[in-house]
């Protein structure tokens, strides 16, 4: 998959495209991407997706001086999922004040027709675009006739209960630690990925060394979890290794200004600095807690490790 950013030219000939934030790339998004790939293969053109960085809601939240809703997935994770869906192109537009001010008609002319070279476009009927969100599906229908591209409306994708699958529902499930509910909407366990950085070495001092991943944005969940991590075994990078993880601000010692993911893997003893790990969350153990001293913290971690190991014995035999 070819990834382009910002002002780079994303179009290399006509393509079938869809547009959206695609935060989490849940089952509804996956159905959309599958439809784009199917049509592109039938027409013999490229399959592409236009997304944004930062997400529009993050841009507007910053202008208002408030926190945006937590992200479900980082940009790298989203791009990996796009590639796995079979897309040929992904263009990441920088959503800033300039982009937000583009009139809807100009967005159609400059982005859809000129830059993306869209021959076919898939969006939901509630899709809005352009300055002030003045562009809508009806406007795209009119442009499709005059500019010569095909337009299709994506129907809602629902779960077994009839509820619409959405990023908001995934986020709400994660915020209440409903990992099974989030996994049903995502079609896979929830994953956080990132590069391991140097930390304070406190885990090693306590007898439970951790791989530390800095989270640049507030995650939708926090606390202590049973996890598996991929990317820690150089001989078998795809292998998932069992462990326990803390996601939060480490309140007992040197509380952090930004969230940190700390992963202790049972079968790993060597340092993992610089490795890119994918960490999937399987079960929640408890809330993050501030302890009076390191001895209490060490005992709590030991209990977490024992419970996590019991989880793997129970679920995997």
Q: Judge whether residue 11 has pLDDT over 90.
A: no
Q: Say yes or no to pLDDT of 75 above 90.
A: yes
Beta-bridged to residue 46, according to DSSP, are: 15
Q: What is the pLDDT of residue 250?
A: 65
Asked if the 2-154 domain carries CATH number 1.10.3720.10, the reply is no
Residue 203 has a pLDDT of: 64
Return mean pLDDT, the chain: 91
In this prediction, what percent of the chain has a pLDDT beyond 90? 74
- The mean per-residue pLDDT over the stretch 146-171 comes to 95
Cα 232 from chain centroid (whole Å): 21
CB 254 within 8 A of CB 200: yes
- What are the C-alpha distances in Å from 20 to residues 78, 183, 242? 12, 21, 34
Q: What's the sign of the alpha-carbon dihedral 268, 314, 244, 183?
A: positive
CA angle centred on 225, ends 283 and 71, rounded to 5°? 95
Summarised one tens digit per residue, pLDDT across range 194-242 is 999 987 666 666 778 889 999 888 899 999 999 999 998 888 888 999 9
Residue 309 has pLDDT above 80, yes or no: yes
Q: Is 303 left (phi over 0), alpha (psi -120 to 50) or beta?
A: alpha
Range name among 20-34, 176-190, 192-206 with the lowest pLDDT average: 192-206
Write down the pTM of the prediction: 0.90
Predicted pLDDT at 257: 64
pLDDT for the residue 271: 83
% of the chain residues with pLDDT over 70? 94
Q: Which of 33-42, 88-97, 143-152, 264-273 has the lowest mean pLDDT?
A: 264-273
Separation CA 306–CA 257 (nearest Å): 29
pLDDT band at residue 58 under the 50/70/90 scheme: very high
Distances (CA, A) of 168 to 22, 71, 90, 223, 296: 11, 10, 23, 20, 37
Lowest model confidence (mean pLDDT) among 176-180, 258-262, 291-295: 291-295
Q: Which CATH number fits domain 189-316: 2.40.70.10, 2.40.30.30, 3.40.50.10800, 2.40.30.20?
A: 2.40.30.30
pLDDT at residue 253 greater than cutoff 70: no
Domain ranges in the chain are 2-154, 189-316
pLDDT at 173: 96
Q: Report d(CA 212, CA 194) in Å as an integer.
A: 9
Sign of CA dihedral 310, 312, 315, 317: negative
pLDDT in tens, 87-110: 999 999 999 999 999 999 999 999
The band of 288, judged by pLDDT with boundaries at 50, 70 and 90, is confident
**Domain pair 2-154 / 189-316, same fold:** no
Residue 251: per-residue pLDDT: 57
Inform me whether the pLDDT recorded for 187 exceeds 60. yes
Residue 12 has a pLDDT of 79
The beta-carbon contacts of 125-133 under 8 Å, at least 24 apart in sequence, are 125/153, 125/154, 127/19, 127/20, 129/19, 129/104, 130/102, 130/103, 130/104, 130/105, 130/106, 131/100, 131/101, 131/102, 131/103, 131/104
212: β partners: 197, 262
pLDDT recorded at residue 256: 61
Dihedral angle at the C-alpha atoms of 285, 291, 294, 299, nearest 10 degrees?
A: -40
**Which candidate, 18, 12, 87, 88, places its Cα nearest to that of 52?**
18
């Amino acid at each position: 998959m070819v990834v382009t950013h910002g002002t780079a030219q994303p179009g290399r000939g006509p393509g079938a495209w869809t547009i959206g934030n695609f935060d989490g790339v849940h089952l509804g998004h996956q159905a959309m991407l599958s439809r784009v790939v199917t049509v592109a293969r039938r027409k013999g053109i490229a399959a592409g997706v236009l997304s944004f960085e930062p997400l529009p809601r993050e841009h507007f939240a910053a202008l208002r001086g408030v926190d945006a809703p937590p992200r479900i997935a980082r940009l790298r994770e989203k791009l990996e999922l796009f590639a796995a869906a079979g897309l040929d192109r992904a263009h990441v537009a920088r959503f800033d004040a300039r982009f937000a001010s583009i009139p809807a008609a100009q967005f159609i002319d400059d982005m859809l027709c000129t830059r993306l070279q869209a021959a076919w476009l898939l969006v939901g009927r509630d899709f809005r675009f352009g300055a002030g969100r003045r562009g809508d599906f009806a406007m795209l229908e009119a442009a499709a006739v005059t500019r010569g591209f095909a337009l299709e409306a994506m129907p809602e994708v629902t779960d077994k209960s009839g509820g619409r699958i959405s990023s908001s529902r995934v986020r709400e499930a994660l915020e209440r630690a409903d990992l099974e509910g989030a996994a049903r909407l995502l079609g896979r366990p929830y994953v956080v990925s990132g590069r391991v950085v140097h930390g304070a070495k406190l885990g090693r001092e306590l007898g439970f060394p951790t791989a530390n991943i800095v989270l640049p944005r507030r995650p939708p969940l926090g606390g202590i979890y049973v996890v598996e991590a991929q990317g820690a075994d150089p001989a078998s990078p795809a292998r998932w290794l069992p462990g326990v993880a803390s996601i939060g601000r480490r309140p007992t010692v040197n509380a952090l200004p930004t969230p940190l993911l700390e992963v202790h893997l049972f079968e790993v003893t060597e340092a993992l600095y610089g490795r890119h790990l994918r960490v999937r969350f399987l079960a929640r153990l408890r809330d993050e807690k501030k302890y009076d001293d390191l001895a209490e913290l060490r005992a709590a971690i030991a209990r977490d490790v024992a419970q996590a190991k019991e989880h793997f014995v129970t679920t995997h035999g």
